[in-house]
């Protein structure tokens, strides 16, 4: 009977202290992974903005090939999704030139579209980055079509 008591005592499961230790280890590991994920989230937003700007550039070039002109600054990027009122675009517009309506940048703000663009380019598209202000470095840097 003494062996029976010893076996039951070993088969009882984890103690409270053992459970707390395991929970502590899991919390430490998951928090370190969380901090690493935040670091890569900012980089992913910047890459997403660059990718969206490149897509807009391709769509603007397709618009130009059809209509013979780029959308005016007043028409903006919305002309890639819905037909503008310009007489030239009314005749030859063959859109939509994007698969979805114009999204905001990854930080929730509209992209800036200028026509004519910076550095004597036909157009410019820019996201102001995480801070929403012109200039900046790192995560707060502007993402531009001309760079």
Whether 2 has a pLDDT exceeding 70, the answer reads no
Contact status, residue 139 vs residue 42, Cβ threshold 8 Å: yes
Cα 137 to Cα 116: distance, rounded to the nearest angstrom: 26
Give me the residue label for tokens 């076996």: 7
What predicted TM-score, i.e. pTM, was given to this entire model? Answer: 0.71
Where residue 139 sits, what CATH number does that domain have? 3.30.700.10
Domain-embedded: residue 20: no
Range of the domain at 62: 44-144
Find the distance separating the first CA and the last CA of the chain, reported in whole Å. Answer: 82
- Chain-centroid distance of CA 123 in Å reads 22
Domain-embedded: residue 10: no
Q: What is the DSSP letter of 102?
A: P
pLDDT digits (tens, 9 = 90+) for 6-21: 555 555 667 888 888 8
pLDDT digits (tens, 9 = 90+) for 19-64: 888 888 888 887 777 777 777 888 888 899 999 999 999 999 999 9
């Amino acid at each position: 009977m003494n062996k029976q008591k010893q076996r039951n005592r070993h088969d009882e499961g984890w103690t409270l202290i053992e459970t707390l230790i395991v929970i502590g280890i899991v919390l430490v590991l998951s928090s370190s992974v969380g901090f690493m994920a935040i670091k890569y989230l900012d980089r992913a937003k910047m890459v997403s903005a660059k990718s969206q700007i490149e897509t807009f550039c391709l769509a603007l070039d397709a618009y130009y090939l059809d209509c013979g002109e780029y959308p005016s600054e007043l028409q903006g990027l919305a002309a890639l999704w819905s037909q503008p009122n310009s007489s030239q675009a009314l005749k030859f517009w063959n859109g939509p030139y994007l698969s979805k309506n114009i999204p905001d940048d990854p930080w929730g703000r509209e992209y800036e579209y200028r026509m004519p663009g910076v550095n004597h380019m036909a157009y410019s598209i820019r996201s102001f980055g995480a801070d929403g202000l012109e200039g900046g470095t790192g995560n707060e840097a502007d993402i531009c079509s001309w760079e």
